[in-house]
Structure 1
Amino acid sequence: MGLFDRIKKGLKKTSQVLNTDVRDLFKSEGRLIDEDFLDELRAILFKTDMGYDPAEELVSEVAKGMRGRVVQMQEVIDVLKSKLKELMAQDESPIRFADSGPTIIMVCGVNGAGKTTSIAKLACMFRGQDKSVVLGAGDTFRAAAVEQLGIWADRLGVECIKGPEGSHPATVAYQAVEHAIKSNADVCIVDTAGRLQTQKNLMTELTKIRDSIRKQIPDAPHEVLLVLDATTGQNGISQANNFADAAGCTGIVLAKLDGTAKGGVVVAIRQQIGLPVKYVGVGEQHEDLVLFNPDNFVDEMFDDALAAN
């Protein structure tokens, strides 16, 4: 499956809802852009969970150039796409690799966000780039998490460093980085326990894990990725802000995009959080992780509407 097909797969539910509703706004002879139309458009945009401010900006953009005119669907979609691309603008932000030695990536997020699967997808991506990978099973609170990460490691042909049951996560992180250095690995991905952003003691623990990594590589971790569950929509925004402060996050992996019609939450993330969306999870297979590109993302959101028109 090619890159664009994967993005289309991930946005299928969002695209279906958005495009069905947008098509329903129009008749074959076009539609007058009046207050009724703008209210209906606003409601459609809200469904994607992009948030109040981005939806208002989009509606205002349509109104500014088209109010009082009869227009075709294509004209409105062109305006929406252009404004969305402006709101979501960011450079493609792949992993920042270390100049020398292993690149250390710390992964965090709330329980059930999809951390372990996202780590597996990252490892698969790196293996596809012929990079050697070490995983650190730092979610020591859940034996199942350690076991799951070990299973993924076996499947992907990468090493997984595990501590004894009850080990401190910072100790496991230290051991994983130590092994990555000794084995000349290219990448070391350190898992952390899922936690709520309101659990201050566990949030403080993220800082300890980061400090343990820096004892061996002062400028590491080179990336701290926050995994957000796309199905949570706007709830993910408060999670992101709190984790970003505690863990020094450098980017976001948006998981489970294929399982929701709330793909518009990416707009809210880009507007409200000063972090790039680095990758999006678009399926359940280990290869279903794609580099986030705003223009491609927006094009696929509306692709079905244009094809059916």
Structure 2
Amino acid sequence: MKLAFWRKSSSDDEKRVAEVTTPAANPLAAVLRRFTTPEPDWREIEEALLASDVGLVATTALIQAARDGEGASGRARVRAAALQLLGDDLTDQHGEADVVLLVGVNGVGKTTTAAKLAARAKGAGLSPLLVAADTFRAAAIDQLRALGVREGVEVVEGRPGGDPAAAIHDALTLAAARDFAPVIIDTAGRMQTRSGLMDELAKIRRVVTKVAPTRTVEVLLVLDGTAGQNGLAQARGFDASAGIDGIVLTKLDSGARGGVALAVRRELGLPIRWIGTGERATDLVPFAAEAYVDGLLGAPTGS
């Protein structure tokens, strides 16, 4: 079954990426507007990048690449460097992943992200299955159940206080019998510093691989876009335990400065797969590098 098409960006998706990435107060765009010559004040641009949550490591790399590059203006050179840093995020096997495991700390929006992914897959004509594997919080199971009913998507529920791996085992068995795909698994929130919970996460991934060896698994770390550089520490801890394949950035519509995507890509080598653009079921769209960069720079898409 071809699954990749439900992940492809439409022109409307790309417009929404640019809109939510553009900060209400955009120091980077303000600086770049002042410099129309090829040689801008790189120190000012560096400060604006740091103020946009790009982070020191990514900012240093981006400035160096922009200075080494060519372009008719400072904006054009920064834009080209940013696109080069982000690279091509969707050219690997995860475009065909039929098991999606969502992980992250509490409060980042994993459960609503699971429901939004299911809604998008269903809207594309697929038969998604949701798995409520956050057995630590009965409320999370209730929430995903309600979201599943709203979207018309079946939900396999873990038992409160039970083993989440058991729920995942049941869900994968059901998916094989009834041809559900993708299977989208919501896991409990956990801090990357809690070794017991992180070990459990590694166990969950092993269970998925054992029960469904022919399925392609994608582990997505859900990060709050308003958390800024704190998200990097979270990503490092999760990557060691679960083998993160990509990032979902949520709450970009809630005052995030947006530059954290560049920091994640540069420092961790992890691609951004999806971004949250609002609270509706349709407000989760595939990450689009050009639209993202143009929103961050305050430039029209394609400029």
Q: In structure 2, which of residues 64, 82, 85 is the aligned counterpart of residue 84 of structure 1? A: 82
Residue identity in the other structure for 1:154: V
The share of aligned pairs that are identical, in percent, is: 37
Any conservation in 2 of the 1:16–1:304 contact (CA below 8 Å)? no
Match of 2:291 in 1: 296
Residue identity in the other structure for 1:10: V
TM-score for the superposition, normalised by structure 1 = 0.85
Equivalent-residue separation in structure 2 for 1:170 and 1:62 (angstroms): 47
Higher Cα Rg: structure 1 or 2? 1
Report how many aligned residue pairs link the two structures: 291
Any conservation in 2 of the 1:282–1:288 contact (CA below 8 Å)? yes
Matched, 1:16 2:15: no
Residue identity in the other structure for 2:200: E
Residue identity in the other structure for 1:169: P
Equivalent-residue separation in structure 1 for 2:155 and 2:241 (angstroms): 26
Cα 1:65/1:275, change in 2 over 3 Å: closer
Q: Secondary structure in 2 aligned to 1:257?
A: coil
Cα 1:14/1:200, change in 2 over 3 Å: farther
Give 1:75 deviation, angstroms. Answer: 0.9
What CA RMSD, in Å, does the superposition of the two structures yield over aligned residues?
2.7
Give 1:22 deviation, angstroms. Answer: 3.5
Give 1:64 deviation, angstroms. Answer: 5.6
Q: Secondary structure in 1 aligned to 2:121?
A: helix
Equivalent-residue separation in structure 1 for 2:83 and 2:301 (angstroms): 17
Equivalent-residue separation in structure 2 for 1:76 and 1:293 (angstroms): 22
Alignment of 1:35-54 (within 5 A): 37-54=41-58
Alignment of 1:45-124 (within 5 A): 45-61=49-65, 75-93=73-91, 95-97=94-96, 103-124=98-119
Match of 1:154 in 2: 149
Equivalent-residue separation in structure 1 for 2:295 and 2:25 (angstroms): 7
Give 1:41 deviation, angstroms. Answer: 2.0
Match of 2:186 in 1: 191
Residue identity in the other structure for 1:123: A
Residue identity in the other structure for 1:298: V
Cα 1:234/1:92, change in 2 over 3 Å: same
Unaligned runs of 5+ in 1: none
Match of 1:235 in 2: 230
Give 1:270 deviation, angstroms. Answer: 0.8
Give 1:109 deviation, angstroms. Answer: 0.6
Cα 1:75/1:139, change in 2 over 3 Å: same
Q: Secondary structure in 1 aligned to 2:95?
A: coil
| More displaced stretch, 274-283 vs 107-116 | 274-283
Q: Secondary structure in 2 aligned to 1:279?
A: strand
Residue identity in the other structure for 1:16: N
Match of 2:197 in 1: 202
Unaligned runs of 5+ in 2: 1-10
Q: Once the two structures are superposed, what CA deviation does each residue of 1:8-56 show, in whole Å capped at 9, x if it has no partner?
A: 2321326734323443x45xxx67958xx33322211101111113222
